[in-house]
Every structure is written in C-alpha cells, then in structure tokens.
Amino acid sequence: MAISIDRRVNGQRLRTLLGTWQRPGPAYQALADGLRALTRSGALPLGTRLPGERETADALGVSRTTATAAYDLLRDEGFLVSRRGSGTVTTLPPGSRDRAPASLGTTDDALVDLTAAAPAAPPQLAAACAAALDQLPRHLAGAGYAPLGLPALRSAIAERYTRRGVPTTPDQVLVTTGAQQAIHLLTSSLAGPGDRVVVEHPTYPHAIDAVRGAGARAVPVPVTLAGTDLDLLDSTVRQTSPRVAYLVPDHHNPTGTSLSAEGRARVRELARRTRTVVVGDETLSDLTLDGPQPAPFAGDGTADRHVVSVGSASKSFWGGLRVGWVRAHPDLVGALAQRRAHVDIATSVLDQLVTVELLACAEDVLAQRRRDMRAQRDALLAMLAYDLPEWQVPVPAGGLSTWVDLGRPVATALSALAHGHGVRVAPGTAFGVGGTFDDHLRVPFSQPVDALRHAVDGLAAAWAVLAGAPAGRVGAAQPALV
C-alpha cells in the first residue's frame, strides 16, 4: 500500500528483538506473546512487515507449525494483518487503537502503566494555571508565535541557571516543546545520515529514536551501576568523531547513576578539546532524593560552544505541560529556532505562561515532590525485596525509577506476560541498541503507592508463571509495607 511506511524486519533481527521469548507452555503462545509485546511497546512499529513463516521458524529455531500458529493467533487477535502483495504486517486491534503505541503512559484503567516514569501534576498547578490566565491577555493581540520562547520564560530560565552558578543570558535559551523536542532538534540539526552520535548504554529510548530519525548512528558507551565509563567515552569520542554526545548526567535514565563533579569537569574538557557538542539532559536533575543536589552539567557555563544543557518542565512539574529548553551559545539557539519553524513553529503560549509561574515557586513544588518520590521509592523497594527477592534492585539516589537486574535474559517475556497480569512495563531492551539488556527491567516509582502495590503483584504473578512456579502464593494480596 502506498501509505504503509516501508519497514521490514528479517528473521535475524526478529530474533534479536525477541530476546529470550521461550517459557514453559505452548511455544506458539509464547512466540505470539513476544511478538504482541514488541508491537505494543513500539519495538516493532505499526506497519512493519514481518518475515514469512518459514524464515521466522528458521531464525528462531522452531517448527514452521509453531510460527504459523503464532501468526494465526495474532491475526485472529488483530495484531497482524496479511495483505496480498504486502506480506504480513503489524497493526493493532480496533479496540486498542486508543492506547499509546509506545512507552507513553496511557490511562487504560485496567492496567497499571509502568512504561512512563512520569509523576502526576503537583497541587500548585491549578493556581499556576489561574495566574497564567491573568497574564494571557497581554499576548492575545499578537499572532501567538514565539519561536524562541516568550521573553518572560527565557528570562526565568536564564535566571535559574544563573542562581545555580551558571551565568546565563536569555539569548542563550531556546524554549522547546518539551525536552524531547530539544533532543530531536539538536540531533537532527547537528547530525545527519551516516554521522555518529555517542549515547550512554542503556539510555533514554526516545533519544536513540531521535538519533535514528536523523539517519545517524548511535554509538553506545556503557553505563554500569558504577556510572558512565568515562575512559571509554573519551576514547570513543576520539576514535569515532561523533557530531554529538548525549548524556544524562544526573539520576541517569534508566540506571539512576550520576556523574561525579570530577566526571563532569572531565566531560567538559573532552568536549572543549575535541570540539564535540556534548548534550547534558538535566530533565531529572531536580529530583535528587538522597544527598546534595549535583552541580550543573554546564560548569561555569563558559564552554557553551560545546557544552549544551537540556531542561524540562515534565518531571519537575508535569508532562502535560509541553515545555522544555536548551541552554547553548546564542548562535546555536538561533540555528535551532530556524529549524523548529518547520517542525512545529513554536511552543504553546499558555504552557509557557504556566511554566513561568511554576518556576517562581519551584522550590516549594520540588520539596514536596522529592518527599513524595522518596516515599514511593522506598515503598517500591520494600515490596520488591519482599515479593521478588531474586531480583537485584539498586537504590537510586534520585530520578523516578530503579534499574532491576533480573539475573537472566527474560525481560521481554516477562513484559509480555505482565500485560496479562494488569501491568504494562518496558523491558530493558527498550533502553538499548541491538536487543541488549533483556536481563533488565526499568521499574518506575512515579506512581502512588497503591498503584505500585498492584504493579508489583502483577509483576510477581508474571514472574511466577515465567519461572514455572505455581502463581497462587504471589497472586494473593500481601500486607502493604508502608
């Protein structure tokens, strides 16, 4: 069909994406579960053409009957459609179309959604909206387009950097439609087809997508629980001459690690020496739960030709406000603003005015948010320790999630099973390239404790099925430990 976007996977790629999909029980059901989970999570985008049943069987080492039965089941359920001349392509059943196609925090009441690590709005939001409406009339006589951002918001953001020790003027600030747009604009402006972009590995999935969307290649540098490997970052940047390096310096998503003060200084020096643009995504920087607030990624702010900071209202305030920003040299700010003109022209005036109000009371909002997230984190860790003692669950000092080591490469299978137990969760493979991290699961604690309780119950029940153990004990309600 002319409208289908030309995407195919071959058998080998499918095997990589599926990871360890096998589990006790009928193989065709396990395979169908894996394929369904890949479709629901967006790892297999809608409209992707799957290999033929014979190729799939060969690649996965199963019988052709198994592959055919799995495809038939998914066709019956509406997850696959076969069209003459176009093969078999992924789709969604009509009833599930309103669900998010990727990790985007939907509100299907029957499910606890752990795919997004994003909290509810703070109680101060309503007052901030009311105050923003008072400011709105000043703007209504104009066309409403401020491609660089409203001057009041650019000033407020610049002042916040300055107060944190990074002297900043408004012309160093571009307001974007969320941090995601900042990442998209930076990667698509600075990198093109064939270019390399260094990313931490694992990392934020939509950053990998943005790099690929620009036609560039994501070059991974490992992050362990000890943090980003800075020696490898250094040698990778020098050997591969990337156009950009994308880092999450504070409460790294998903591992929860942070760069030390020395590590930050070293990264800035690397950027300066190699003239590589290093982007520090500080979306989670306000959410330090233990210990002192980390120092700003930009240092003293003087290296702004090579050290770029990205910030956002999504996690500090609310994701429904689509407001983010870039702190960079004014030349780069201008170039990004020109590019955005053909991406979305400008950011919502109303959302910008609300963000100005929230920045004015940010310390109050954030103090309460940190208290809430600390309580939710501690509750989640206690539940996991009790119900899933085999899992290795680190204690993140900030951010919104923990990066669980499952001990074996079953995250994709677990994610597929969990759906049937009332939980949507992204397998570790979503955070890596090439199907890695199937032995990890990112578990957010951004939801209230009762939702976390349901989520852990569902994960424990799915884990029991996966382990072949009787599901009874785990499915029974446990006393809440908070």
Output the smallest distance, CB 66 to a copy of itself, in A: 27
C-beta closer to a copy of itself: residue 92 or 411: 92
Q: Among 119-127, 365-373, 385-393, 421-429, which window interacts with a copy of itself (CB under 8 A)?
A: 119-127
Tokens representing 419 are: 């759906």
Residue 466 · residue 410 · CB < 8 Å: yes
152 binds a copy of itself (CB under 8 A): no
Which residue from 124, 86, 48 is spatially nearest to 359, judged by alpha carbons?
A: 124
Output the smallest distance, CB 219 to a copy of itself, in A: 16
Distances (CA, A) of 228 to 153, 237, 284, 289, 441: 33, 14, 16, 20, 19
Output the smallest distance, CB 134 to a copy of itself, in A: 10
Q: How far apart are CA 297 and CA 300, in angstroms?
A: 9
C-beta closer to a copy of itself: residue 394 or 448: 448
**Residues 348 to 387 in contact with a copy of itself, rule: CB under 8 A:** 348-351, 354
C-beta closer to a copy of itself: residue 295 or 313: 313
Output the smallest distance, CB 338 to a copy of itself, in A: 5
Residue 447 · residue 376 · CB < 8 Å: yes
**Residues 287 to 306 in contact with a copy of itself, rule: CB under 8 A:** 305-306
The b/e string for 26-45 (b: 16+ C-beta within 10 A; e otherwise) is ebbebbbbbbbbbbbbbbbe
Tokens representing 266 are: 């070293």
**Residues 50 to 79 in contact with a copy of itself, rule: CB under 8 A:** none
**Residues 444 to 463 in contact with a copy of itself, rule: CB under 8 A:** 446
Size of the site for a copy of itself (CB under 8 A): 98
Tokens representing 244 are: 């950009």
42 dihedral zone (left: phi>0; alpha: psi -120 to 50; beta): left
Output the smallest distance, CB 347 to a copy of itself, in A: 7
Q: Rg of the Cα trace of the chain?
A: 23
Q: Among 44-52, 56-64, 405-413, 454-462, which window interacts with a copy of itself (CB under 8 A)?
A: 44-52
Please, which residues have CB within 8 angstroms of residue 311's CB and are 6 or more apart in sequence? 157, 179, 282, 283, 285, 324, 325, 327
| Residue 209 CB-half CA count within 13 A | 13
C-beta closer to a copy of itself: residue 20 or 96: 96
C-beta closer to a copy of itself: residue 258 or 447: 447
* Beta-bridge partner residues of 362: none
C-beta closer to a copy of itself: residue 205 or 294: 205
Output the smallest distance, CB 304 to a copy of itself, in A: 9
C-beta closer to a copy of itself: residue 171 or 269: 171
Residue with structure tokens 């392509």?
89
Angle between helix 178-190 and 330-340 (nearest 10): 100
**Residues 83 to 112 in contact with a copy of itself, rule: CB under 8 A:** 91-92, 94, 97-98, 100-107
Q: How far apart are CA 152 and CA 134, in angstroms?
A: 14
Beta strand ranges found along 78-161 (DSSP E) = 80-83, 87-90, 112-113
Output the smallest distance, CB 318 to a copy of itself, in A: 5
Q: Among 63-71, 147-155, 427-435, 468-476, which window interacts with a copy of itself (CB under 8 A)?
A: 147-155
Q: Which of 184, 251, 264, 453 binds a copy of itself (CB under 8 A)?
A: 184
Contact track, a copy of itself, 317-346, x by CB under 8 A = -xxxxx-----xxxxxxxx-xxx-xxxxxx
